[in-house]
Amino acid sequence: MVDLPPAWLRRGVVFVLAAVAAYQIAHWMLHSLSDFLAVVFLAWLFSITVEPAVEMMVRHGLRRGAATGLVMFGLTASAIAFVGVFGTLLVDQLTGLVTSLPTLISDVVDWVNGVLGTQFRAADINDSLRLTPDRIQQLAQDLTPGVFGILSSLVGLVFQALTLMLFAFYMSAEGPQLRNTVSSWFPPRQQRVISTVWEISVEKTGGYVVSRLILAVLSTIFTGIFLYLIGVPYWMPLAIWTGLVSQFIPTLGTYLAIAVPALIALAGQPIDAVWVVLFGTVYQQVENYLFAPRVTAATMQVHPAVAFGAVVVGAKLFGPVGALVSVPVVAATQAVIETYGHRYELVGEVPTTPPDPPPVKARRTWTGRSLWRGRGSGARPAGPPDAPGSPPHG
């Protein structure tokens, strides 16, 4: 008779095999549904972005579904109008920027070598960036496809846009019903907590995203006007880059945003690069002291270090979509923690400098004791001898 392994070992082996199988299935599903999950995440982000406008219309008596549809119609019409007016110009400037990248890099490297006396080679930089002629040509063809490419890209874009808008509409229009459905899965004591957390996270996160978008639009408009006036080429894509990067990449975004237009200007007229840097510095101060306090007065503020870490982690885990939605997710989490978290007052702060030493009590010397005893007995204490010619004491 063959002895079987103990029951605990058999259960352990079955558990490990089941865990490995579940992990493989989950990994396969996430990989297969990555595009769909990205659309759902973007729809959620879009729904909380339009939430403040929808709530304002609902408070004025409009039904929630109609308010959501009206807001989305307005945004869609604005996007279509922008593409109709500036779409061709934007595509042409993007194509020109991509095709001229090797020349721009060569001009910047030549200027740096001439001013600093360095020996940089533009070919090495192009190779490190993989800006080969074939890749440049492929990028240009992607930006300006043929008729068949335009039709296929348009069909795919329209399908993804309709999917995103459909999910976003239901997430926004039926947000209260969805919240009640989720709350009904919990005991009555926890339903109020779930409802409060839901409302706070949507309100704070939506306000944060809206404030970032408003500041990005303002930055794009003013940067585009300035670059156009001083004659910097490819001013429209550079302005859009500056507006988005400066607002949605914390801390480093401001410097990255203005560095690219400055380098492009440096390839043409070096003095224009100085003007671009000065404009970026001045506009940053105007934004910090004039625009941002008014736009973000009632919204959530996320610490730059926390936001930057969230962007890095989100990009590492989920790519560009993760980087886009990471800061709103952190804003929602921070809103919940600040609502239900409890802070205590500090008992005392640790001094940063050591305290002053206590004063040293003067010791009574023999002369002092003699003086005191002399006063008590009525005798005059001994003093220094009289100077010659001075009247005697007493």
Predicted local distance difference test score (pLDDT) of residue 15: 92
Handedness of CA 203, 208, 210, 211 (dihedral sign): positive
> Of the candidates 300, 318, 342, which is a domain's last residue?
342
User: What is the percent of the chain with per-residue pLDDT over 90, rounded to a whole number?
Assistant: 20
Q: Rounded to an integer, what distance in angstroms lies between the CA atom of residue 236 and that of residue 227?
A: 8
Q: How confident is the model at residue 148 (pLDDT cuts 50, 70, 90)?
A: very low
pLDDT band at 35 (very low <50, low <70, confident <90, very high): confident
Task: Note whether 162 and 223 are same-domain residues.
Answer: no
Mean pLDDT of all residues in 226-241: 93
Domain end position, chosen among 113, 144, 171: 171
The tally of domains found in the chain comes to 2
- Over residues 176-180, mean pLDDT: 86
Q: Which residue has the higher pLDDT, 349 or 117?
A: 117
Crossing angle of helices 64-99/147-173, nearest 10°? 150
Q: Is residue 249, in this structure, part of any structural domain at all?
A: yes
Left, alpha or beta for 378 (phi > 0: left; psi -120 to 50: alpha)?
left
Q: Measured between alpha carbons, how far is 55 from 63 in angstroms, rounded to an integer?
A: 10
Q: Is residue 89 part of a domain?
A: yes
| 358 is a domain residue | no
pLDDT reported for residue 371: 45
Domain that residue 245 falls in: 185-342
Q: What one-character-per-residue DSSP string does 158-194 give?
A: HHHHHHHHHHHHHHHHTHHHHHHHHHTTS-HHHHHHH
Whether 45 maps to a domain, the answer reads yes
Distance CA 148, CA 135 (A): 21
The answer to whether the beta carbons of residues 107 and 269 sit under 8 Å apart is no
| Residue 174, amino acid | E
Q: Which of 171, 199, 220 is the last residue of a domain?
A: 171
User: What is the model's pTM?
Assistant: 0.71
Domain shared by 67 and 165, yes or no: yes
Residues 261 and 334 in one domain: yes
Domain-located, residue 242: yes
Q: Is residue 362 a part of any domain in this protein?
A: no
* pLDDT of 126 above 60: yes
Mind listing the pLDDT tens digit for each residue in 96-122? 888 888 888 888 888 888 888 888 888
Residues 196 and 331 reside in one and the same domain: yes
Does any domain span residue 158? Answer: yes
The answer on 158 and 49 residing in a single domain is yes
CB of 344 closer than 8 Å to CB of 355: no
Least confident of 76-80, 170-174, 252-256: 252-256
Q: Answer yes or no: do 262 and 336 share one domain.
A: yes
Answer yes or no: do 114 and 257 share one domain.
no
State whether 98 and 211 are in the same domain: no
In a shared domain, residues 115 and 220: no
160 and 194 in a common domain: no
206, 112: one domain = no
Q: Is residue 274 part of a domain?
A: yes
Distance of alpha carbon 202 from alpha carbon 49, whole angstroms: 9
Average predicted confidence (pLDDT) for the chain: 79
Please say whether the beta carbons of 140 and 98 come within 8 A.
yes
C-alpha to C-alpha distance for 69 and 51, rounded to whole angstroms: 12
Note whether 158 and 307 are same-domain residues.
no
pLDDT tens figures, 195-204: 888 887 777 7
